[in-house]
Structure 1
């Protein structure tokens, strides 16, 4: 399953990314709304 994590707090995003990857998720990250939109359009998360 592909997930997109979006938050301005980089520490939180990295922590969640590390944890969810150990559970087998494919993770994309974004720290701004603009980048989140781009990741959403390119990556098509579930």
Structure 2
């Protein structure tokens, strides 16, 4: 995730906006997946 964010900032600095948009979307997708996994883990811990 950190690497994607760094690449995103690099693309913006170089004005590669199409690639920056792709990286932003990838970051958003990973953030959603991370949130879902954390919620699942918290749910499993609560059940145990």
TM range (shorter): 0.3 to 0.5
More strand by share: 1
Larger Rg: 2
Give the TM-score normalised by structure 1: 0.38
Does 1 or 2 have the higher relative contact order (CA < 8 Å, sep 6+)?
A: 1
Give the TM-score normalised by structure 2: 0.37
More helix by share: 2
